[in-house]
Structure 1
Amino acid sequence: MANGLPNYQLQQDQQAAPFSLRTMEATDQAHQGQPDQPHRHFYYTILWPFNATGTHMIDFVNYEIKPDHIFFISPGQVHQVRTNAQPTGVVLLFTPDFLQMNGIREEFIDQLKIFRTCEENPPLAVSKPLRGTLQLYVEQMQQAQQLLDYRYEALGAWLKLFLIACNNACDLALADPQQLQAGQTILRQFKQLVESHITEWHKVNEYAEQLFITPNHLNDVVRSLLGQTAKEYIQRRLTLEAKRRAAFEAITTKELAHNLGFRDPSHFTKFFRAQTGQSLSEFKATQFR
């Protein structure tokens, strides 16, 4: 088992950077054709394979890599890319700060259907018309990277158009527009609370109390926008956190249970098996072998 999960900051030419556009070819050459190790970033990643095959693990779910199927990875998600020989494609990397500095509100990303932090993350299949549009935006971003003046402003503008085009083509409909507009603020705040307090609060009423709404109302909002209850969302996020720590930290079951807010380790082991169908030891034995 690894002693810790690598956490990568965004760098370009050995310097910290808010945005980078790279090719899959260059990344493959940098790794000398070897697959990367499971890791996570503190920035957003968009992986668009042009001619590549393989597998992409995102938060312990494996997806097939196919040409013109775009992956969207949020900060904090664990992922690993394994491609066959000589892949081609592009990789867009950008930080939350990059969005802010270019007037792209946090709410904009939250409302998109393409970045999903605690749900399934299937890739977006790119149609032929969409491919032409996205290729144009990528070419404009490649040119903008060479600008001396207003480089990031131009990159931000083309990136936003790229994201909008992908979102409009996405068939992972989370809700109708009226439902989305009515509940988006509550959902965004709920998700933020879950990320901050998942190891402390396991009950819906604890989150509802912080949002000054009833547990029933919170459940209705989450169900209408995500297709699952608030309790199910909390349990999935808690299970994901358990998987991340179990897979990458040298930690006992008792320590893990305590760190995740379970007073009784036996309660944690029962919870983990109920959520995954595996014991913790069975899960550890199957990871990254």
Structure 2
Amino acid sequence: MANRLPNYELQHDQQAVPFSLRTMEAIDQVNQGKPDQPHRHFYYTILWSFTATGTHMIDFVDYEIKPDHLFFVSSGQVHQVRTKPDPTGVVLLFTSEFLQMNGIREEFIEQLKIFRSCEENPPLVISEPQKATLHLYVKQMQQAEQLTDYRYEALGAWLKLFLIACNNVCDLDPVNPQQLQAGQTILRSFKQLVESHVTQCHKVGDYAEKLFITPNHLNDVVRSLLGQTAKEYIQRRLTLEAKRRAAFEAATTKELAHNLGFRNPSHFTKFFRAQTGQSLTEFKTKSWKS
């Protein structure tokens, strides 16, 4: 039977909070040195390793953790951190509501190159000068957490500077500003539609119709901004959903196929193998689940 996927809300002392800054040392102490289980939470996570080493699994892809590596995990992604003893670093956690309450538009996060909710999530590696700047921002956030008045406003200001600094040194898929401005509304709406309808709609034409544009125009926008076709984006998101459900739901292949919008289970298994290079059974028995 598949393990149930834990879903976490952002809390501190069993109280819901919009922002939290924690150290990897404290988290490791609470967990008594044991790695967490694969889980999903509905807030943003930034993990910055100072000396920590190990492995960070994000949506079924393992990335090596090294000193001065930063990882950016979007809301809804499945991840698991496995570090060697005595890790040091910081973890920034914040909700969409925290961004809104501090005047940070949703589009700001979407336009950053560092949060990649349905793509590869390699770590950002920073240099010594960049590290000094980011350390300053973290220190300011730690001090702001102690404030009585305007605490979250100060945290939001320093967080935004931290994100901008990270984005400015990120060389993942640089985007032409004019292309971004022209297509960002379409791309944002397309992504939202895929999140809501990927288990029912598998064709580019379905989404283009909802957006009142042609499939060719939708493909041009997605390709220019993401470096992949709309079909490839839909298939990657559908594959990710299939992995999440196969790993954490006790469902048969027939049930999975039906729940993911495939009329024929054989079509689903062929799709899964074509996208992942392995059968559904092989994926379910991967060692990372243990």
**Which residue of structure 1 lines up, in the alignment, with residue 265 of structure 2?**
265
Partners of 1:182 and 1:50 in 2: CA distance: 39
Shift of 1:2: 3.6
Task: Give the secondary-structure state (helix, strand or coil) at the position aligned to 1:270.
Answer: helix
**1:231 aligns to 2:231 (yes or no):** yes
CA contact (8 A) 1:63 1:122 kept: yes
TM-fit CA distance, 1:3: 3.6
Distance 2:286 2:25 in 1: 30
Q: CA deviation at 1:244?
A: 0.3
Q: 2:201 matched to which residue of 1?
A: 201
Match in the other structure for 1:122: 122
In the TM superposition, residue 179 of structure 1 has moved relative to its aligned partner by 1.1
Contact 2:3 2:247 in 1 (8 A): no
- Deviation, 1:251, is 0.6
Q: CA deviation at 1:135?
A: 0.5
Residue pair 2:173, 2:227 contacting (<8 A) in 1 also = no
Moved segments of 4+, more than 3 Å: none
**In the alignment, which residue of structure 2 is the partner of 1:245?**
245
Given that 2:2 and 2:246 are in contact with CA atoms closer than 8 Å, whether structure 1 keeps it comes out as no
Show CA shifts across 1:161-215 (max 9, x none): 0000000110003421111111111111111110011101000011011111100
Work out whether 1:65 is the aligned partner of 2:78.
no
> How many Å separate the matches in 2 of 1:3 and 1:248?
5
Structure 1 Cα separation of the partners of residues 12 and 143 of structure 2: 16
Looking at structure 1, the residues matched to 214 and 158 of structure 2 have their Cα atoms a distance apart, in angstroms, of 41
Determine the structure 2 residue equivalent to 1:113: 113
AA aligned to 1:15 is: Q
Verify the 8 A CA contact 1:262 1:268 in the aligned structure 2.
yes
Q: Residues of 1 paired with 2:264 and 2:14: CA distance?
A: 46
Partner-residue secondary structure (3-state), 1:90: strand
> 1:269-280 counterparts in 2 under 5 A?
269-280=269-280
Residue 125 of structure 2 aligns to which amino acid in structure 1?
A
Q: Which stretch shifts more, 67-76 or 1-10?
A: 1-10
User: Is there any run of 5+ residues in structure 2 with no aligned partner, and where?
Assistant: none
State the partner residue of 1:180.
180
Question: What is the CA-CA distance between 1:286 and the residue it aligns to?
Answer: 1.2
Whole-Å separation in 1 of the counterparts to 2:47 and 2:122: 12
Query: Residue 50 of structure 2: SS of its match in structure 1?
Result: strand
State the match for 2:17 in structure 1: 17
Take 1:88 and 1:66, find their aligned partners in 2: how far apart are those partners?
11
CA contact (8 A) 2:4 2:248 kept: yes
Counterpart of 1:133 in structure 2 is 133
Change (3 A) 1:118 1:58: same
**Aligned residue for 1:171?**
171
Task: Measure the CA separation in 2 of the matches of 1:194 and 1:129.
Answer: 39
Corresponding residue for residue 55 of structure 1: 55
**Gap change, CA 1:174 and 1:202, over 3 Å in 2:** farther
- Residues 53 and 87, structure 2, Cα contact 8 Å, conserved in 1: yes
Q: Which residue is equivalent to 1:79? A: 79
Cα distance in 2 for residues equivalent to 1:14 and 1:265:
43
- 1:72-127 per-residue CA deviation (whole Å, 9 max, x = no partner) reads 00011000000000000000000000000110000000000000011000000011
Q: 1:129 corresponds to which letter in structure 2?
A: P
In structure 1, what residue type is equivalent to 2:204?
V
1: CA distance, partners of 2:138 / 2:115: 19
Deviations 1:106-156 (A, max 9, x none): 000000000001100000001111111110100000000000111000000
For 1:181 and 1:68, locate their aligned partners in 2 and report how far apart those are by CA, in whole Å.
32
For residues 151 and 181 of structure 2, the distance between their equivalents in structure 1, rounded to whole angstroms, comes to 33
Partner SS state of residue 139, structure 2: helix
Equivalent position of 2:90 in the other structure: 90
Equivalent residue, structure 1, for 2:189: 189
Q: Tell me the TM-score normalized by structure 2.
A: 0.98
Write the distance in 2 (CA, Å) between the matches of 1:122 and 1:181. Answer: 25
- Unaligned 5+ segments in structure 1 are none
Please give the root-mean-square deviation of Cα atoms over the aligned residues, in Å: 0.8
Deviation at 1:267, TM superposition (A): 0.7
**Matched letter for residue 71 of structure 2:** F
In structure 2, give the amino acid aligned to 1:9. Answer: E
Contact 2:25 2:87 in 1 (8 A): yes
Q: 2:144 is matched by which residue type in structure 1?
A: A
In the alignment, which residue of structure 2 is the partner of 1:213? 213
Number of residue pairs the alignment of both structures matches: 289
Q: Secondary structure of the residue that 1:278 maps to in structure 2? A: coil
Q: Distance in 2 between matches of 1:13 and 1:36?
A: 19
